[in-house]
Amino acid sequence: MSMFQTIKEQAYEANMQIPAQKLAIYTWGNVSAFDPDAGVFAIKPSGVAYPKLTVDSMVVVDLDGKVVEGELNPSSDTNTHLVLYKEWAVKGGAKIGGIVHTHSTYAVAWAQAQRPIPLFGTTHADHIQSLVPCTPYITKDALTRNYELETGNLIVKHFADEGLHPAETTMVLVAGHGPFTWGASADKAVYNAAVLEEVAKMATITLQVNPAATQLPAYIIDKHYQRKHGPNAYYGQKK
């Protein structure tokens, strides 16, 4: 049995949630699961359809981008995942155990529209306290250097510029491309991808019904986030 069995299983299970939650069609989208102690992550192989995935087909990659286990090519987006783990989980100390990239319909539409998603309601505030940020387009220079790696850097820089923290704002739109989400586990990262798609759909309809819709007042945002995630959170069951 692989010494990376746990993250391979986590990655497999979370990848299979992509079609189950209708977050992408065909081979689009990918999930990785990170082992911070080993400094490696397991990720979907590139271009393989979900029904053909197995635990064994997951590819294990280290933080230098070297494949340490697996016979298939890892996702073409592997270097984006790598940068986020390296910058945020390792250097930044954020508890990030999984990353997801999808082409879910509404989230992609907002990325294509190059608009951050306004915080219109409590469905959004239950999960993050900021709008869903949207990066600028990647520059031609960055793209030419290393497209996927620089996409990771673009996200990291945008969070720094906007004063956002990845442990709190667990999702981002890359302009013209689509969403990346993350979480304490691969499973939680897929949950956040589903939340983002639903929030994006709700925001679209909100603007359709009222183009002048306003952001939720700050005190309600804070209340909803705190009752789920704050030190005195009272949503859910005691762990």
Would residue 235 show up in a list of annotated catalytic residues for this protein?
A: yes
- What angle do helix axes 186-209 and 105-113 make, rounded to 10 degrees? 60
Considering 62, 126, 187, 222, which one is annotated as catalytic?
Answer: 126
Cα separations in angstroms, 221 against 43, 80, 167, 216:
34, 30, 17, 7
Strand order in the sheet with 59-62: 67-69, 59-62, 40-43, 30-35, 98-101, 178-183, 171-174
Residues ≥6 apart with Cβ < 8 Å to 38: 3, 4
Cα separations in angstroms, 235 against 129, 223, 229:
16, 12, 8
- For its own copies, give the closer residue by CB, 8 or 124: 124
Query: How long a stretch of residues is the chain?
Result: 239
Q: How far is the CB of 115 from its own copies (least distance, A)?
A: 6
Q: How far is the CB of 148 from its own copies (least distance, A)?
A: 9
- For its own copies, give the closer residue by CB, 5 or 139: 139
Task: Give bridge partners of residue 101 from the DSSP assignment.
Answer: 30, 180
Considering 56, 137, 161, 235, which one is annotated as catalytic?
Answer: 235
- For its own copies, give the closer residue by CB, 36 or 116: 116
Q: How far is the CB of 197 from its own copies (least distance, A)?
A: 10
Would residue 12 show up in a list of annotated catalytic residues for this protein?
A: no
Q: How far is the CB of 216 from its own copies (least distance, A)?
A: 5
Residue 16 host element (H or E):
helix 5-20
Q: How far is the CB of 140 from its own copies (least distance, A)?
A: 5
- For its own copies, give the closer residue by CB, 51 or 163: 51
Nearest in space to 23 (alpha carbons), one of 60, 62, 50: 50
Residues lying near its own copies in the complex (CB under 8 A): 25-28, 45-48, 72-73, 76, 103, 105-106, 108-115, 120-123, 137-138, 140, 143-144, 147, 176-178, 191, 194, 198, 201-210, 213-214, 216-217, 219-220, 223, 227, 234-238
- For its own copies, give the closer residue by CB, 163 or 234: 234
Give the residue numbers marked as catalytic. 126, 235
